[in-house]
A and B are shown apart, each in its own frame.
Chain A
Amino acid sequence: MEDKVTSPEKAEEAKLKARYPHLGQKPGGSDFLRKRLQKGQKYFDSGDYNMAKAKMKNKQLPTAAPEKTEVTGDHIPTPQDLPQRKPSLVTSKLAG
Chain B
Amino acid sequence: MFSGPRQRGLRLLTHAEWCGVPSEADIISTVEFNYSGDLLATGDKGGRVVIFQREQESKSRPHSRGEYNVYSTFQSHEPEFDYLKSLEIEEKINKIRWLPQQNAAHFLLSTNDKTIKLWKISERDKRAEGYNLKDEDGRLRDPFRITALRVPILKPMDLMVEASPRRIFANAHTYHINSISVNSDHETYLSADDLRINLWHLEITDRSFNIVDIKPANMEELTEVITAAEFHPHQCNVFVYSSSKGTIRLCDMRSSALCDRHSKFFEEPEDPSSRSFFSEIISSISDVKFSHSGRYMMTRDYLSVKVWDLNMESRPVETHQVHEYLRSKLCSLYENDCIFDKFECCWNGSDSAIMTGSYNNFFRMFDRNTRRDVTLEASRENSKPRASLKPRKVCTGGKRKKDEISVDSLDFNKKILHTAWHPMENIIAVAATNNLYIFQDKIN
Is A10 interfacial (CB 8 A cutoff)? yes
Interface contact A27-B220, CB-CB below 8 Å:
no
Within 8 A of B (CB), among A1-56: 7-13, 15-17, 19, 23, 27-30, 32-34, 36-37, 39-44, 46, 49
Chain B residues near A30: list those with CB within 8 A: 220-223
Is B2 interfacial (CB 8 A cutoff)? no
Chain A residues near B284: list those with CB within 8 A: 28
Interface contact B86-A43, CB-CB below 8 Å:
yes
Chain B residues near A44: list those with CB within 8 A: 86
Interface contact A12-B331, CB-CB below 8 Å:
yes
Interface contact A27-B86, CB-CB below 8 Å:
no
Contact bitstring B356-384, A, C-beta under 8 A = 1, else 0: 00000000000000000000000000000
* Distance of B173 from chain A, by nearest CB (Å): 10
* Distance of B155 from chain A, by nearest CB (Å): 44
Interface contact B83-A11, CB-CB below 8 Å:
no
Interface contact A12-B113, CB-CB below 8 Å:
no
In whole angstroms, how far apart are the Cα atoms of A27 and B222 in the complex?
13
Is B244 interfacial (CB 8 A cutoff)? yes
In whole angstroms, how far apart are the Cα atoms of A36 and B244 in the complex?
11
Interface contact A39-B176, CB-CB below 8 Å:
yes
Interface contact A33-B277, CB-CB below 8 Å:
no
Known: A7-B274, A33-B223, A33-B244. A40 touches B281 (CB 8 A): no
Known: A12-B330, A37-B225, A39-B176. A91 touches B276 (CB 8 A): no
Which listed segment binds A: B34-42, B49-57, B87-95, B121-129?
A: B87-95
Interface contact B281-A32, CB-CB below 8 Å:
yes
Interface contact B174-A46, CB-CB below 8 Å:
no
Known: A30-B222, A40-B113, A41-B86. A16 touches B334 (CB 8 A): yes
Interface contact A9-B278, CB-CB below 8 Å:
yes
Interface contact A8-B88, CB-CB below 8 Å:
no
* Distance of B174 from chain A, by nearest CB (Å): 5
Contact residue among B86, B194, B277 (Cβ-Cβ distance under 8 Å from A37): B194
Is A73 interfacial (CB 8 A cutoff)? no
* Distance of A81 from chain B, by nearest CB (Å): 12
Contact residue among A13, A37, A40, A43 (Cβ-Cβ distance under 8 Å from B278): A13
In whole angstroms, how far apart are the Cα atoms of A27 and B274 in the complex?
14
Interface contact A27-B219, CB-CB below 8 Å:
no
Within 8 A of A (CB), among B84-119: 85-90, 113
* Distance of B423 from chain A, by nearest CB (Å): 33
Interface contact A36-B225, CB-CB below 8 Å:
yes
For B224, the closest partner residue in chain A by CB is A33
Within 8 A of A (CB), among B304-347: 327-331, 334-335
Chain B residues near A62: list those with CB within 8 A: none
Chain B residues near A32: list those with CB within 8 A: 281
Residues of A within 8 A of B (CB): 7-13, 15-17, 19, 23, 27-30, 32-34, 36-37, 39-44, 46, 49, 79, 91, 95-96
Residues of B within 8 A of A (CB): 81, 83, 85-90, 113, 174-176, 194-195, 219-225, 244, 274, 276-281, 284, 327-331, 334-335
